[in-house]
Structure formats: C-alpha cells, structure tokens
Chain A
Amino acid sequence: ETGVTQSPTHLIKTRGQQVTLRCSSQSGHNTVSWYQQALGQGPQFIFQYYREEENGRGNFPPRFSGLQFPNYSSELNVNALELDDSALYLCASSLPWRDEQYFGPGTRLTVT
C-alpha cells in the first residue's frame, strides 16, 4: 500500500504568478483534504474533495481552487500569488467513513 505523495517538493514563484500542486492519495482513499501550514504554525484547512466534488472549504479566498480526478488524485491551484502564500502545502487522504487522515510530505512554496 502506497502512502500519500505530493509534487513538487519545493517551488519558488514570483508574486502574481499562478501555481499548481499535485497530490496522489493513499490507495483506496477517495477523500482528499488540503491544508496550508505557515512556518511555525499548525496546518489550516483549505478545502476537501470527495468523489470529485468540493466538500467543504476553510477561510481561504476564491483564488485557491482545486480539482479531484477519477483516480482520487487531486490538484491545488493558487492564482495571483501573494507573499503570504509562502507556506508548506499539505495533502491528506482518508476514507469517507473513517476519521483518520494521512498526510503527504508537503510542497514547500516560496513566493518572492
């Protein structure tokens, strides 16, 4: 059984640019959640996808958007990048009837 994987590992972008981050969920997990973790802070919930539909959203602006594909993998897209978007972006997968969420290693995004 493979764990949650994310790509790329690191990314440097310029303010105003757009970025796409990718996540492959753990085998059999059809629910994917994205979190933003600023340096020295706990992760903050961005949104969740279940069966290719958004299933809840945290306090993030619309320039944060996502997709889930039929194989349960997911993308996080951020438009018009701001300096404050610099963070570790984490993907977590889970089964819909289970509480446990398993995180990937994250993508470190730096916006300059």
Chain B
Amino acid sequence: QQQVKQSPQSLIVQKGGISIINCAYENTAFDYFPWYQQFPGKGPALLIAIRPDVSEKKEGRFTISFNKSAKQFSLHIMDSQPGDSATYFCAASRQAAGNKLTFGGGTRVLVKP
C-alpha cells in the first residue's frame, strides 16, 4: 500500500498555457503530499506541498488540488513558461513514520515558446 501513481508521463504545453499533473495514492495513512521539480543533472527541489485537511493550496503560479475521498491530488501550473520545462514528481509521506517519501514516477513537462 505504498504506491503513488503519477500521470501523464510527459506533456507538452504552449507558453502561457496550463500544465496539469495528476497523482493517486493508496495508503490512507499518508498525511503530507509534496511536489518536487527536477532539472537535468540536479536534485529535486521542493515546489509546494499540502496536507489532507485542506482541498487546495496556491503559491504563485502553482496550485495543488487535493481530493481526500478519491485519494488523488494534482498540480496545476498556470501561465506556463519555458523555464518551467522540467520533470515534476509528486510524493507522499506519513509523519508518524519519519516522513520517508514515496515518489510517483515523474512527469516530463516541455513548455514551448
């Protein structure tokens, strides 16, 4: 019950468009859901995170939507820019278990100018 499934594997969006990445989890004990951004040759960088007691969190152009009953959460990137071209990972963890992160498989986002 540790799997986190992420989709799509890749997406192409025009500059100014909206990128949407979806994740589904199985373990209902997860209580922290971060998104990471990773550029080639770099480590993942924490982008935004949410807890299950809220349904949405927005930071700048990035928004997480969370559906606890469906065990799903998603990342929306508004007004996508070429600099947003990267691989995005969703993850989940349980504070009582030391916050060991379980990652999705990643989504490669390409923003075309």
The interface of chain B, by Cβ under 8 A from chain A, is 6, 32, 34, 36, 41-46, 49, 89, 91, 93, 95, 97-106
Closest to B32 in A: A99
* A43-B100 contact given A102-B46, A105-B43, CB 8 Å threshold: no
- How many A residues, CB 8 Å from partner? 27
Q: Does A86 contact B (CB under 8 A)?
A: no
Q: Does A33 contact B (CB under 8 A)?
A: yes
Some 28 contacts from A to B, beta carbons below 8 A apart, are A4-B43, A33-B100, A40-B106, A42-B6, A42-B103, A42-B104, A42-B106, A43-B89, A43-B101, A45-B101, A48-B100, A55-B98, A56-B97, A56-B98, A56-B100, A90-B43, A92-B101, A99-B95, A100-B34, A100-B46, A100-B49, A101-B99, A103-B43, A103-B45, A105-B41, A105-B42, A105-B43, A106-B43
